[in-house]
Amino acid sequence: MLATTRRRTLKALGLGGAASLAGCVSSAPTANNAAATQEPTEAAAAQSVDVDRIAADPTDIPDPIDRDSPAEVDVTLHSEEAVAEIEDGVTFTYMTYNGQVPGPFIRVRQGDTVNLTFENDESNSLPHNVDFHAVAGPGGGAEATTTAPGESAELRFKATYPGAYIYHCAVPNMDMHISAGMFGIILVEPPEGMPEVDHEIYIGQHELYTDKPTGEEGHHKFDMDSMRSEEPCYVLMNGEKYAWTPNGYGPAVTAGTDETVRVFFVDGGPNLSSSFHPIGSVWETLYPDGSLSTEPQTHIQTRLVPPGSTTVATMNSPVPGDFKLVDHSLSRVARKGCMAVVRAEGEERPDIFDADPA
Ligand SMILES: [Cu+2]
């Protein structure tokens, strides 16, 4: 019975396979008149991809820190401009750290010294850098790491305060670079560490501004006008439409009904806040804005996460099923691709949830 209910829900959320309707940019052609207004010289065909999967693996997180003294940690971030698919048949030239969105999850301990090497790939076309909100220093390191294609820079910093922080590109067109994919999380664990959990996942939300309606096949170029008016064509979790759902690469994680999942969530933006909610559940514990030096809140249904911030939250489900992580501004879910799924497996618990009591 639960399976039927789940299918019905997926259909209601627009996951049945139908293409989204056009209209993310007021000046863009709609699906109905695209052929009439398309420029004949425009290379509309999807391009061959440089990266097969731009969506970062949500479980690709360094292990919790098992040290009781500070250390020096070497980190390399390599900026890469790369063509990849937003969804089937729709390509875009992303800007990334290490060829993935969001960028690599960096995990250190308060008091650690980070030796950062920042590389700008020689095949890139633009300068890039990195601004860490975990850095106590001018620009979060942005000026110190600004490099032209083919160059590299080094930055040494001490992680003086704990928390989960965004890092992002901060060149003058920073909104464009973040929108194209240049953001991630650096976690600075407090000296005592964090409570033990069974699973950890890493999800990054951001929005893409392109020159074609959502879902129109072909190569989408970045569109400054839709960014200026803050009307994105796509709002995504981990860089691709429904990437970590059963309709994409599969659930972000599969956990037992007796297990706890910790979600590290970052909103790259550059402009939209996320109303972060687990459908069919609540956040059991939640550290607002990734602040780990406060007590967590408990039983939070929806948490606003502004651009340039994070949240760290745990969830668990006593009953099996698929639990959709969404931005509760639900048009972004139904029409713009914003969703990830956490799957719970275990015994049915009709005393808690019974979809067919008759
Ligand atoms: Cu950049």
Segment 73-98, tens digit of pLDDT: 999 999 999 999 999 999 999 999 99
Let me know whether 59 and 177 are in one domain. Answer: yes
Ligand 1 center–CA 254 separation, angstroms: 34
Ligand 1 center–CA 343 separation, angstroms: 34
Let me know whether 135 and 158 are in one domain. Answer: yes
Ligand 1 center–CA 258 separation, angstroms: 42
Let me know whether 232 and 293 are in one domain. Answer: yes
Let me know whether 184 and 216 are in one domain. Answer: no
Let me know whether 77 and 147 are in one domain. Answer: yes
d(CA 194, CA 327): 26
Ligand 1 center–CA 127 separation, angstroms: 6
Ligand 1 center–CA 114 separation, angstroms: 21
Ligand 1 center–CA 146 separation, angstroms: 9
Ligand 1 center–CA 126 separation, angstroms: 7
| Under 8 Å between Cβ of 96 and 80 | yes
Q: Which pLDDT score is estimated for 23?
A: 38
Let me know whether 177 and 278 are in one domain. Answer: no
Let me know whether 62 and 95 are in one domain. Answer: yes
Ligand 1 center–CA 169 separation, angstroms: 5
Ligand 1 center–CA 177 separation, angstroms: 5
Let me know whether 180 and 229 are in one domain. Answer: no
Ligand 1 center–CA 79 separation, angstroms: 8
Residue 107 falls inside a structural domain: yes
d(CA 130, CA 69): 27
Residue 215 falls inside a structural domain: yes
Residue 137 falls inside a structural domain: yes
Residue 166 falls inside a structural domain: yes
Let me know whether 258 and 341 are in one domain. Answer: yes
Tokens of 345: 């497996």
Closest Cα partner for 190 from 300, 314, 309, 296? Answer: 296
- The Cβ of residue 64 has, within 10 Å, a number of other Cβ atoms equal to 16
Predicted TM-score of the model (pTM): 0.89
Domain boundary among 149, 170, 189: 189
Ligand 1 center–CA 173 separation, angstroms: 8
Ligand 1 center–CA 358 separation, angstroms: 57
Residue 194 falls inside a structural domain: no
Q: Tokens 């440089």 identify what position?
A: 50
Ligand 1 center–CA 128 separation, angstroms: 4
Q: Which pLDDT score is estimated for 47?
A: 87
d(CA 344, CA 318): 8
Number of domains observed in the structure of the chain = 2
Residue 37 falls inside a structural domain: no
Range of the domain at 298: 199-345
Q: Which pLDDT score is estimated for 34?
A: 40
CATH (domain of 300): 2.60.40.420
Let me know whether 224 and 167 are in one domain. Answer: no
Let me know whether 226 and 340 are in one domain. Answer: yes
Ligand 1 center–CA 276 separation, angstroms: 26
Q: Would you give the distance in Å from CA 53 to the centre of its chain?
A: 14
Ligand 1 center–CA 192 separation, angstroms: 35
**Coil, helix or strand for 203?**
strand
Stretches in the chain below the pLDDT threshold 70: 1-44
Domain boundary among 159, 189, 219: 189
Ligand 1 center–CA 324 separation, angstroms: 31
Q: Which pLDDT score is estimated for 287?
A: 98
Let me know whether 176 and 216 are in one domain. Answer: no
Domain boundary among 189, 222, 244: 189
Ligand 1 center–CA 123 separation, angstroms: 14
Q: Which pLDDT score is estimated for 24?
A: 63
Residue 138 falls inside a structural domain: yes
pLDDT tens digits for 103-113?
999 999 999 99
| Under 8 Å between Cβ of 92 and 210 | yes
Residue 43 falls inside a structural domain: no
